Amino acid sequence: MPQHDWTKSSHCQEGEACVHISVTRETVLLADSATPDPSSIISADRDAFAALIHMLKK
C-alpha cells in the first residue's frame, strides 16, 4: 500500500482518539489512526464522500 499523508480531524477527543483523513486524486481515505492497519481503512470516491458530507450537514 502506498504511503499516505494523514491529517487528524479538527473535531477530536484528547490524544489520537479521532478520525484521520487522507485524500488522493481518486479517493478519500478514513482511518482511526495516523498509522492505520491497511485492513482498517475506509475508502470512498470523492463524489460519494462529498454526498455523504452534504447529507450529514442537513
Work out how many domains the chain is built from and give that number: 1
For residue range 2-43, list pLDDT tens digits in order. 678 888 888 777 766 788 899 988 999 999 877 788 888 999
Within a domain: residue 2?
Answer: no
Q: Answer yes or no: is 1 within a domain.
A: no
Helix, strand, coil share of the chain (percent; to 5) = 25, 25, 50
- Comparing 21 with 1, the larger pLDDT belongs to 21
Is residue 36 one of the residues assigned to a domain?
Answer: yes
Is 29 contained in some domain? yes
Domain span including residue 48: 7-57
Whether pLDDT at 1 is above 60: no
Q: Hey, how many other C-beta atoms are within 10 angstroms of the C-beta on 34?
A: 14
User: Is residue 44 classed as helix, strand or coil in its secondary structure?
Assistant: strand
What cell numbers appear for 23 in the block? Answer: 485524500
Within a domain: 41: yes
With respect to residue 11, please indicate whether it lies within any of the assigned structural domains: yes
Beta bridge partners of 31: 20
